[in-house]
Structure 1
Amino acid sequence: MIEAEVVIDGETTSRVALTQTAVDLVRMLWGKHGPLMFHQSGGCCDGSSPMCYPAGDLITSDADVLLGRFDVAPDGEPAQPVDFWMSREQFAHWRHTHLTVDVVPGRGSGFSVEAPEGVRFLVRSRLVDQDG
């Protein structure tokens, strides 16, 4: 498992991680689609699943929070940063959670790049204290 780089001002603990299975899938998808990004929306459609897009395909704004940045490059390779975003509204509800992105069998959203692979990304969460 790898933890994301801490990017939120004033925080010292990562808010999001990728399981090794997720890292392996992200590396494979990077090979097919180029640089990637995640977005965890607060919407109704697959709102509990992180969506993976080619970097820049989903335009983020002040309505989104960057939770972390992963370097998914294999050892010795140039950095391959993958940003993980969440809607600000969703973050307000989930601000006391740490998210772990995993992979499970099944078909995800047609908009997320893993959909044709027969698997989907899934978030598992646990409570944390980010205020202290």
Structure 2
Amino acid sequence: MTTDDSCSRVAVTDAAASLLRDLTDAHGPLMFHQSGGCCDGSAPMCYPVGMFLIGPSDVHLGRLDAGLAEPIDVFISEAQFEYWKYTHLTIDVVPGRGAGFSVEGPTGNRFIIRSRMLRDDEIAHFGLRTPV
């Protein structure tokens, strides 16, 4: 992992960070929005900053250290966050063609999410109630 996920909601694998560096060279600063499903199949969508407008109901999950001058912000819709608030997300990359308008499409790779439940210390850090 490129990002220490000890008290973060998001991380990035080394393979995904490498692709993000290449994409940043081609497109400039990037950001992610975690899709809620439907056409995008719950895929993390990567856009050049300014190409996807974040709304007042989007939740900032965190920032990814991909070895760039600036970290990459990751957002999710408020409604989707309610379903995933106890989940840590790691952005990874696999061969294949993704859906939607995510910038990695033409590379023959697609970003995916690997997830795990938050640990007890993370639940406390984020001020969540321990699920029953």
Which TM-score bucket, shorter chain as reference?
0.7 to 0.9
RMSD: 1.8
With the length of structure 1 as denominator, give the TM-score of the two structures. Answer: 0.85
Instruction: Using the TM superposition, give the Cα deviation of residue 42 of structure 1 relative to its aligned residue in structure 2, in angstroms.
Output: 1.4
Matches within 5 A, 1:36-115: 36-73=30-67, 79-115=69-105
Whether the aligned pair in 1 keeps the contact of 2:47 and 2:103 (CA below 8 Å) is: yes
Which residue type is aligned with residue 2 of structure 1?
Answer: T
Whether the aligned pair in 1 keeps the contact of 2:86 and 2:117 (CA below 8 Å) is: yes
Runs of 5+ consecutive residues of structure 1 not aligned to the other structure: 6-11
Q: Which residue of 2 aligns with 1:9?
A: none
Structure 1: how far apart are the matches of 2:8 and 2:108? 29
Whether the aligned pair in 1 keeps the contact of 2:60 and 2:75 (CA below 8 Å) is: yes
Structure 1: how far apart are the matches of 2:25 and 2:67? 11
The alignment covers a number of residue pairs equal to: 122
Whether the aligned pair in 2 keeps the contact of 1:100 and 1:124 (CA below 8 Å) is: yes
Q: What is the aligned-residue identity percentage?
A: 57
Which residue type is aligned with residue 111 of structure 1?
Answer: F
Deviating above 3 A after TM superposition, structure 1's stretches of 4 or more consecutive aligned residues are: none
Which residue type is aligned with residue 131 of structure 1?
Answer: I
Structure 2: how far apart are the matches of 1:92 and 1:84? 16
With the length of structure 2 as denominator, give the TM-score of the two structures. Answer: 0.85
Structure 1: how far apart are the matches of 2:112 and 2:59? 19
Whether the aligned pair in 1 keeps the contact of 2:37 and 2:43 (CA below 8 Å) is: no
Q: 1:110 to 1:45 in 2, by over 3 A?
A: closer
Q: Which residue of 2 aligns with 1:126?
A: 116
Runs of 5+ consecutive residues of structure 2 not aligned to the other structure: 125-132
Instruction: Using the TM superposition, give the Cα deviation of residue 41 of structure 1 relative to its aligned residue in structure 2, in angstroms.
Output: 2.0
Q: 1:72 to 1:21 in 2, by over 3 A?
A: same
Are 1:22 and 2:24 counterparts?
no
Deviations 1:12-64 (A, max 9, x none): 81001000000000000000000000000214111411000001110001120
